[in-house]
Amino acid sequence: MNKYAFIFVLSFIFFIQELFSQSDTVHLDEVVIHSSPNATIFKQTSRAITLITHTALENTPATDIGMVLEQLAGIDLRQRGTFGMQADINIRGGSFDQNLILINGIAVNDPQSGHLNMDIALSLDDINQIELIEGPASRWFGTNALSGGINIITKQENHPALNLNFSGGQYGYIQTRAAASYQTGQINQHTSFQFSGSDGY
């Protein structure tokens, strides 16, 4: 008898639970939150852009892109090699995978880990300018630009040119570079080769 009473009570509890769990759907009015009194389209929001021109790159004592960016406020560069090799960049306290690195508007972040983003095979002589956007406005560059975005714009030569550079210094430092700009049909091309080496310090 106790067994049947227990089953009856248990069934009654489930029935009551199902009865009260069926409720009407409540539709709420849409709530719009604005950070300013007037709504602003994202394209029209102001942005603080740091621009490093080719003239500034020519006058800097830096030998790679990482050293140039490290001179800016809010930039933290961690590298485990010389000449910018195995380098991670942190912007405004964000981690290495919260920054977006682009070359001519094309993202070059490592899709696997986000590490070594500054390990870019570009010489400073091949760069026309560097654009840096920090903070929330950096999402203008696209996804993954949470704390900042860096867009590296390369040179676009409109006439044939040939450049040869050679430099050396202490601790066996040597750097050689050859670059050529030429036109093939309607396409302007720029090709450069560079070698850097050092015995350490």
The answer to whether the Cα torsion of 110, 150, 65, 154 is positive or negative is positive
- Classify residue 104 as left (phi > 0), alpha (psi -120 to 50) or beta: left
Convert the pLDDT of each residue in 135-167 to its tens digit: 766 666 777 777 888 889 988 877 888 889 898
- Of the listed ranges 31-35, 39-43, 80-84, 187-191, the least confidently predicted one is 39-43
Residue 106 in tokens: 């094309």
Residue 124 in tokens: 């400073």
Convert the pLDDT of each residue in 91-143 to its tens digit: 887 777 778 888 888 888 877 776 777 778 888 888 999 988 887 666 667 77
Distance CA 12, CA 94 (A): 56
pTM summary value: 0.68
What DSSP string runs through the chain?
-HHHHHHHHHHHHHHHHHHHH-----PPPP----SSSS---GGGS---EEEEEHHHHHH---SSHHHHHHTSTTEEEEESSSTTTTEEEEETT--GGGEEEEETTEE---TTT---TT-----GGGEEEEEEEESGGGGGG-TT-SSEEEEEEE---SS-EEEEEEEE-STT-EEEEEEEEEEETTEEEEEEEEEEE----
CB 79 within 8 A of CB 87: yes
